Structure 1
């Protein structure tokens, strides 16, 4: 398994990974119809493509040569001291095998001036909360609009201070 920068040709596979992972994780929380609507909006090819060109961001995949097992997207707007981890997803069949940690390490290494990594996580997603807690993140607040402005999706905010 190796981690590399995502490219345009990866986008259909990344979308498929996100659709699979979101349904596996969130159908029981939000319902399949709402998850499909979120996937069609947040994980459309056009939405993913827009992330490739951001200068203040890093868009990476974990690839074993046969399939993309995970992806992460983060940005560090303004002064670059705070990294916002927007997405870190690992295909359900590949979870628990170190892929998420590899992606997180690469994201952190990609922003050498960062002092804090911040993320939003669904309060009912105990598996993700456990992963982030094991990686040194602590709860630092909450939001009523996870993912994008006016989403209406509540989430917890977690942070990890960097050296």
Structure 2
């Protein structure tokens, strides 16, 4: 498994990992329609391609050699860096893929001079919250995110560099 920066030809694979993750992780949090609409909005091919090209974004992927099995989507901001999303295909969880993506993203922000890294996760996504706590992130606040025109509580975690 290698973690590398994404390319344009990874767009469909990233969308597939996101779709599988949302279907697995959010059935009691989001309706099927909301999950579908959220994936279509957040992982639209043009939008994702623009993020891959952006100098302010990081979109690393975990590549098994045969396929992309995970990705992170993070952006630089005034506070350092923000991990907006990090997903691993359900059949590749518990293999260390998420930790590898997190480490890669954290290090990349460090190379860009970030003093801290924030991570956002839906408040009701307990496995996602546990992931960040396990990796040394501290819960600092609650915010809201909008998915398909509906607001959801989101936890914001921080790890110092």
| TM norm structure 1 | 0.91
Across the two proteins, how many residue pairs are aligned to each other?
Answer: 159
Q: Which runs of 4+ in 1 moved over 3 A?
A: none
Residue of 80, 83, 86 corresponding to 2:81: 83
Name the residue aligned to 1:58: 58
Please state how far the C-alpha of 1:39 moved relative to its aligned partner: 0.8
Name the residue aligned to 2:95: 97
Please state how far the C-alpha of 1:158 moved relative to its aligned partner: 0.9
Cα separation, 2, equivalents of 1:58 and 1:151: 26
Please state how far the C-alpha of 1:57 moved relative to its aligned partner: 1.8
Q: Deviations over 1:18-72 (max 9, x none)?
A: 1111111112211111100111111111221110121122111000111111001
Provide structure 2 residue ranges, at least 5 long, that are not aligned to the other structure. Answer: none
Cα separation, 2, equivalents of 1:129 and 1:152: 18
Name the residue aligned to 2:122: 122
Name the residue aligned to 1:31: 31
Cα separation, 1, equivalents of 2:147 and 2:116: 18
| TM norm structure 2 | 0.92
When residues 110 and 151 of structure 1 are mapped into structure 2, their CA distance, relative to the original with a 3 A threshold, is farther
**Structure (1 or 2) with the greater strand fraction:** 2
* Contact kept in structure 2, 1:144 and 1:155, CA below 8 Å: yes
Q: Deviations over 1:128-153 (max 9, x none)?
A: 111110100111001122579x7522
* Contact kept in structure 2, 1:86 and 1:147, CA below 8 Å: no
Equivalent position SS for 1:28: coil
Cα separation, 1, equivalents of 2:102 and 2:150: 25
Provide structure 1 residue ranges, at least 5 long, that are not aligned to the other structure. Answer: none
RMSD: 1.7
